[in-house]
Structure 1
């Protein structure tokens, strides 16, 4: 991964019309499920079962410690995206049962805080580093074992939490309205120099983390000016980032601000998609964030909780994230789906993801200029 140091960055990568290549993926709704094309449990087979996908690398579940006992997982990741993976893991082990409790990430952090030492949560599994950082800041996340932490690169973990899959901030654009040359290399320029209609989802956590990153990188005054600029330019608000990408694909807006995987989901659900993705260079518009997990300080069996997290980093789970949720796998040997830059090729800003935990100042700035959060 290229950490931007202020020097002239390389040209932004663009995901073109052949984004899904030979992955042979069916439809978005058909993909996000617990079984491959042969009806096998995700953890019961090592291959992806999809045409064009090589056998994943990394550590297969067969080489991990067996899961035995009962585990309660508070999940800020939706059941629609990860429920089948969790169910498959429970079915794979005869003596293992899991109680997943799905909800909003911020609400779950607050719930764990209110429950204190009596919380039933053994593991907190969530969508971004901000929520993980908040749990750690509250002093309710245990330090993880070194061998678990070493499963991913240092920039995707702290002592108290570890990333399990990644997402890059992108600029999805409508290919009927815009060409590669119309896309800008700097997120700042989209507030003043972009010739088109923008959309975003300012109430969505990842969008707020993006604004948080801008505040940390450029300061409050510059961030406020940027926010005022996109408001003045008439940016359209949506409830979620999939909706933004769908609006881009339909020509309702020309471009948007989203995580990369929503573009892949729109493309996979359309035979004639009109959407591609641009990446800015070394700024808040190119932040690479992670979904991840932490073991709570109240976990009844910390070893079982850690081993559950290890399974999220197994070959099979990482292949699931690549082919079913379209995220970046975080282990070596499993590639993302689509014509995407690798993690090393992304030109990301020099930013500690743990700093994204405090989103309130960014939310306050957004509200100052009249943005609904």
Structure 2
């Protein structure tokens, strides 16, 4: 249908205010100031890390095809992370309805496979490339349009799925007890050469994915030796990676192994917390994984599903991921929040992200050396 930018029923995209959950500050973006095409776009980011951000570049929602119809999204991303974004898309398009069904990523992959051609899922939106790759391997996805895939660099997509936001493995450290010079460039060295107390969350999926990357890159025996060294170092175990970062900030431990955005979430609640980010170089400790989306082979309206995926890569959605979930945006014209290098300056290893779904050998290996998973 023709675009009606002056329609009074269409709300400014992401202009509302909402709370994303206990790990995020209340408040949304206030991205566009007016529905009038002649009015200037205005920003009003609220909260820690948002003030003074430049207007995001890239393709704006207004320049994408309208979303019209009903769409069922099987989401391995939690409602507290993406519910506001999906709701704002519904509000922005008067004839668009999205039915999100939240769940565990691997369970959703299995559900789509079991439902076969009768699955109601039009889009699979999830937390990592492993789940996207698993669904594609089941033959339950369809090729994405060039309009969608061309919006991000080739390392963050295949012809069957596209990344929408990213997360980097990092080593958060307490700045009261350590400096940048104390941090090591090699993840292997943390098992033998680190002078401090470490923490991690070995039962957490992201941590297991990181160990899987090590197993794929370095081999099982080297990974076993690293795990044994980490256990011997007395590393503390936590329930999740936010808890690891909070323990670093509280001085319970000196450093840990987490995804980068948990550091930003701690700083969001306590801007002066003594925690900072360090990176290893070119190894499993520097893996960069993506959340992303795929269109299922059973999508009722493939064009609508494809255009929805493109909306996840719009300037406004990418700014949302940067400022509300603290992930890395995947389009180059939107900056991450925090004292972080751009994606192209990260020294990441060459690993097939879709293979990170091979967790069973990793879990077996971790258990063999006495780690609780």
Give TM-score, length-normalised by structure 1.
0.88
Q: Is the 8 A contact 2:187 2:283 kept in 1?
A: yes
CA distance in 2, matches of 1:275, 1:297: 45
Please report how far the alpha carbon of residue 192 of structure 1 lies from its aligned counterpart in structure 2 after TM superposition. Answer: 1.1
Does the residue aligned with 1:265 lie in a helix, a strand or coil? helix
The residue aligned with 1:7 is none
Does the residue aligned with 1:56 lie in a helix, a strand or coil? coil
Q: Is the 8 A contact 1:171 1:278 kept in 2?
A: yes
Please report how far the alpha carbon of residue 272 of structure 1 lies from its aligned counterpart in structure 2 after TM superposition. Answer: 2.3
Q: How does 1:29-40 map to 2 (within 5 A)?
A: 31=25, 33-36=27-30
| Shift in alpha-carbon separation, 1:201–1:48, aligned structure 2, 3 A | farther
Work out whether 1:143 is the aligned partner of 2:143. Answer: yes
| Shift in alpha-carbon separation, 1:359–1:33, aligned structure 2, 3 A | farther
Q: Taking CA–CA contacts closer than 8 Å with sequence separation of 6 or more, which of the two structures ends up with the larger relative contact order?
A: 1
Q: Is the 8 A contact 1:31 1:323 kept in 2?
A: no
CA distance in 1, matches of 2:209, 2:43: 32
The number of aligned residues is 345
The residue aligned with 1:369 is 369
Please report how far the alpha carbon of residue 109 of structure 1 lies from its aligned counterpart in structure 2 after TM superposition. Answer: 1.4
The residue aligned with 2:187 is 187
- Measured against aligned partners, the alpha-carbon deviations of 1:108-144 in whole angstroms (never above 9, x if no partner) come to 1122222222221111111111111111122111111
Please report how far the alpha carbon of residue 31 of structure 1 lies from its aligned counterpart in structure 2 after TM superposition. Answer: 3.9
CA distance in 1, matches of 2:30, 2:250: 30
Correspondent of 1:49 among 33, 44, 51: 44
CA distance in 2, matches of 1:371, 1:115: 36
Please report how far the alpha carbon of residue 360 of structure 1 lies from its aligned counterpart in structure 2 after TM superposition. Answer: 1.9
The residue aligned with 2:17 is none
Q: Is the 8 A contact 1:34 1:88 kept in 2?
A: no
CA distance in 1, matches of 2:244, 2:41: 35
Does the residue aligned with 1:362 lie in a helix, a strand or coil? helix
Q: Is the 8 A contact 2:131 2:354 kept in 1?
A: no
CA distance in 1, matches of 2:367, 2:116: 31
Work out whether 1:223 is the aligned partner of 2:218. Answer: no
Q: How does 1:259-274 map to 2 (within 5 A)?
A: 259-274=259-274
Please report how far the alpha carbon of residue 354 of structure 1 lies from its aligned counterpart in structure 2 after TM superposition. Answer: 2.2
- Measured against aligned partners, the alpha-carbon deviations of 1:17-68 in whole angstroms (never above 9, x if no partner) come to xxxxxxxxxx986646545399999xx9955423311111000000101001
CA distance in 2, matches of 1:248, 1:351: 29
Does the residue aligned with 1:230 lie in a helix, a strand or coil? helix
CA distance in 2, matches of 1:139, 1:314: 27
Please report how far the alpha carbon of residue 225 of structure 1 lies from its aligned counterpart in structure 2 after TM superposition. Answer: 1.1
In structure 2, stretches of 5+ residues that fail to align are 1-20, 46-50
The residue aligned with 1:244 is 244
Q: How does 1:95-174 map to 2 (within 5 A)?
A: 95-174=95-174
The residue aligned with 1:351 is 351
Does the residue aligned with 1:300 lie in a helix, a strand or coil? coil
Does the residue aligned with 1:292 lie in a helix, a strand or coil? strand
Q: Is the 8 A contact 2:247 2:253 kept in 1?
A: yes
CA distance in 1, matches of 2:124, 2:42: 28
Q: Is the 8 A contact 2:33 2:42 kept in 1?
A: no
Please report how far the alpha carbon of residue 299 of structure 1 lies from its aligned counterpart in structure 2 after TM superposition. Answer: 1.2
Please report how far the alpha carbon of residue 357 of structure 1 lies from its aligned counterpart in structure 2 after TM superposition. Answer: 2.6
Q: Is the 8 A contact 1:169 1:260 kept in 2?
A: yes
Larger Rg: 2
Q: Is the 8 A contact 1:264 1:338 kept in 2?
A: yes
| Shift in alpha-carbon separation, 1:40–1:231, aligned structure 2, 3 A | farther
- Measured against aligned partners, the alpha-carbon deviations of 1:324-364 in whole angstroms (never above 9, x if no partner) come to 11111111211111121111111111122222232222122
The residue aligned with 2:14 is none
Q: Is the 8 A contact 2:29 2:44 kept in 1?
A: no
Q: Is the 8 A contact 1:165 1:327 kept in 2?
A: yes
The residue aligned with 1:3 is none
| Shift in alpha-carbon separation, 1:348–1:47, aligned structure 2, 3 A | farther
Give TM-score, length-normalised by structure 2.
0.88
